Amino acid sequence: MAGGLRSLIRAVQDADDPTLCAAVGACTKGTGALGILLLQRVADDPNILRTLMADEMWNLWVRVEGFAPILGIGGEAAIAINVVQDLLIPGWAEGLERYQALIETLLARSAA
């Protein structure tokens, strides 16, 4: 990220198809699941938001980057930023995967 826009573009250009597709898939899945949880379930259980905010990925992903669960250009831009993070920031992909597991657990618990 310190290399600026050129290094960001290069990272995306240099990613092979499977790596890029995996990053897009993971970020899209995470955005969708978090959107469902925030927009549909938090009102029923405020502890869900407390649990999400207690995790480091809340600051790394949701708070800093600005979560945009809405379809359209805002949502697409958010996913694009997430993909770049996935490709460039060491440990970010693993953090997102772990956070997705937390989201899925909260979704399952709130649906029960």
pLDDT of residue 9: 80
Q: What is the pLDDT along the chain (112 residues), one digit of tens a residue?
A: 566 778 778 877 888 888 888 888 888 888 888 888 888 888 888 899 999 999 999 988 887 766 666 667 777 777 887 888 888 888 888 998 999 999 999 988 887 6
Is 90 exposed, middle or buried (CB count within 10 Å of its CB: 0-12, 13-18, 19+)? Answer: exposed
Output b/e per residue, 25-52; b: 16+ Cβ within 10 A. Answer: ebbeebbebbbebbeebbeeeeebbebb
**Site of tokens 């699941």:** 33
